[in-house]
Amino acid sequence: MIEVKELTKSYGPTLAVNQVSFDAHAGEVVGFIGPNGAGKTTTMRILTCYLTADAGSATVAGYDVLEHAIDVRKNVGYLPESAPLYLDMGVVEYLKFMAEVREIPKSQRKERLRTVVEICGLEGVIQKDIGELSKGFRQRVGLAQSLIHDPPILILDEPTSGLDPSQTIEIRNLIKEIGKEKLVLFSTHILPEVAATCTRILIINRGELVANGTLEELIGQVRSEDKVHVAIRGAEEAITTKLKELDSIVGFTHVKTDDGVVNYEITVAREGKNVTEALFNAAVQNGWGLAELRQESVDLEHIFLHFTSGQNGNISPSSELTTEVDSTEEE
């Protein structure tokens, strides 16, 4: 539904988008993330025909963005970063106007209007002018206009920015629901939102697409190991010996001992066996008190920093290890 090939765009000397390529299909919710100024808005503006690329190509719903802008716009609902709303227009007046611009048949306009007002929670403000609305409600009106023609593709530039928590959840659920049949491409700085909503994640940094995959795939690319934190009340020497015997443990660090409780950071092979269970059993068998047992997995924040910090690999747990488990000792 969206096919982007080596898209490039500069503003004077600023290379905003640099040879970006990806595609996306119906049934996907694609999260577009990256630091401020990375090129998200520029890419979205090109895909919605508000901006022309310098090089490369893009088709949306099968139409080339350069040659068939009108067809592209018919198939796309777009929420711009700062919605160009007409401040002296009434909410209903504006949505009616957008329905007309979108060429919705007259007979269907009332029903579409009613639907988007309900979806975006605008019932309480339909009598007001847009200029009187708070930021979050203006954002809702922007969302309503992007949905009014029931397009198969939605491109939303920070759709939940400025929304209150309950509306954020509603919009998030809406995006998920829409994404079951349609294609949603949206940008955000709220990473848990991406983890909760997206079937795929695109990360852009300094104009370049640096990652493209499911959350699981990106986790795998960032590191092949997980961390387990364990705090055990018992004899340190015996515990250390036991840790060296356990399968799947790549290495561990003795962090500190508090009141007879020994704390370890353990590095575990991601594909390895269930280490937390093995640790629990070892504690039971040896009569140790298990004060804490917690698995720390890579989250999207780690992934984001990994791909955008410019010094990939700075979160590798191996660098913190003091005890490497020697595989020959395991037998």
C-alpha separations of 329 from 230, 243, 247, 249, 326 in Å: 22, 11, 11, 12, 5
Count CB-CB contacts under 10 A for residue 311: 8
3-state SS class at 118 = helix
Can you tell me which residue has the tokens 């901006």?
51
**Centroid of chain to Cα 174:** 15
Window of 73-81, 121-129, 208-216, 246-254 that interacts with Mg ion by CB under 5 A: 73-81
Residue 16 lies near ligand ATP (rule: CB under 6 A)? yes
Question: Which CB, 39 or 179, lies closer to Mg ion?
Answer: 39
Report d(CA 183, CA 70) in Å as an integer: 19
Report d(CA 182, CA 151) in Å as an integer: 8
Question: Which CB, 53 or 262, lies closer to ligand ATP?
Answer: 53
Among 41, 48, 146, 188, binds Mg ion (CB under 5 A): 41
For 80, the token pair is 């711009």
CB of 42 to ligand ATP, least distance (A): 3
Residue 194 lies near ligand ATP (rule: CB under 6 A)? no
For 219, the token pair is 């986790």
Residue 188 lies near Mg ion (rule: CB under 5 A)? no
Q: Taking Cα atoms as reference points, which of 180, 174, 183 lies closest to residue 152? A: 183
Q: Taking Cα atoms as reference points, which of 203, 136, 215 lies closest to residue 171? A: 136
Report d(CA 143, CA 118) in Å as an integer: 12
For residue 221, what is the enclosing H or E element?
A: helix 215-222
All residues at 6 or more sequence positions from 260 whose CB lies less than 8 Å from its CB, including other chains: 233
For 273, the token pair is 């066996």
Map residues 42-71 to x or -, x wherever contact with ligand ATP holds by CB under 6 A: x-----------------------------
Window of 40-48, 145-153, 252-260, 287-295 that interacts with Mg ion by CB under 5 A: 40-48
Map residues 200-239 to x or -, x wherever contact with ligand ATP holds by CB under 6 A: ----------------------------------------
The count of residues interacting with ligand ATP (CB under 6 A) is: 12
Among 4, 38, 72, 325, binds ligand ATP (CB under 6 A): 38
Question: Which CB, 26 or 83, lies closer to ligand ATP?
Answer: 83
Window of 38-46, 83-91, 104-112, 293-301 that interacts with Mg ion by CB under 5 A: 38-46
CB of 30 to ligand ATP, least distance (A): 15
Report d(CA 81, CA 188) in Å as an integer: 10
For 108, the token pair is 């269907």
Residue 40 lies near ligand ATP (rule: CB under 6 A)? yes
Window of 20-28, 74-82, 100-108, 190-198 that interacts with Mg ion by CB under 5 A: 74-82
**Centroid of chain to Cα 175:** 12
All residues at 6 or more sequence positions from 269 whose CB lies less than 8 Å from its CB, including other chains: 224, 225, 248, 249, 250
Among 37, 192, 289, 313, binds ligand ATP (CB under 6 A): 37
Among 18, 41, 59, 188, binds ligand ATP (CB under 6 A): 41
Window of 36-44, 58-66, 72-80, 141-149 that interacts with ligand ATP by CB under 6 A: 36-44
Residue 4 lies near ligand ATP (rule: CB under 6 A)? no
Question: Which CB, 11 or 86, lies closer to ligand ATP?
Answer: 11
The single-letter code of the amino acid at 301 is: E
Residues that bind Mg ion in the complex, under the rule CB under 5 A? 40-41, 81
Contact footprint for ligand ATP (CB under 6 A): 11, 14, 16, 34, 36-42, 81
